[in-house]
Amino acid sequence: MAADKFTEAGEGDEPALDPAAERLRGKLVRFMIVNLLIVFGLVILVVGVLIYRNGGSDGQREIADGSNAVPLGDLTADRRLTLRQGETIESLSAEGHRVTLHLSGDGGGRILQVDLRDGRVLGAIEIERARP
């Protein structure tokens, strides 16, 4: 007979709770929802930080981990690069044993790639300003 009561009432029907139990149930549901939102927000934050810290290109990661670092023993002699009159260094980029310099001057600029081991210029690109 008891089994008939459960089958007649249906699976979704539950006996009504007293008002105090309903209020407590509502508070617990709200508490659970707020906590789940906080946890999901923190997970998204952690994933974002991980992507930001590890999101550089492969070349940047190689430089950062020091695998291509120039040993100090290779750089015992002084190296010198002479700039033209009025030239300034705009930017500098280093990778392994090479340094790329962006130089600018009055008539234009140039990009140089220099080998740190022996100080020689590996390549140069002249940048000229168009004259109107």
- Please indicate, yes or no, if residue 112 is contained in any of the structural domains: yes
Q: Are residues 82 and 108 in the same domain?
A: yes
Domain that holds residue 38: 2-52
Q: How many domains, the chain?
A: 2
Dist CA 72 CA 99 (whole Å): 15
Dist CA 2 CA 74 (whole Å): 90
- What the block records as the tokens of 30 is 């709200």
- Please indicate, yes or no, if residue 64 is contained in any of the structural domains: no
Helices (H) and strands (E) in the chain, counts: 3, 4
Q: Are residues 46 and 78 in the same domain?
A: no
pLDDT, tens digit (0-9, with 9 covering 90-100), for 44-98? 999 999 999 988 655 554 445 555 555 555 555 677 778 888 888 899 898 888 9
Q: Are residues 80 and 38 in the same domain?
A: no
24 band by pLDDT with thresholds 50, 70 and 90: very high
Dist CA 128 CA 106 (whole Å): 10
Q: Are residues 33 and 75 in the same domain?
A: no
Q: Are residues 48 and 84 in the same domain?
A: no
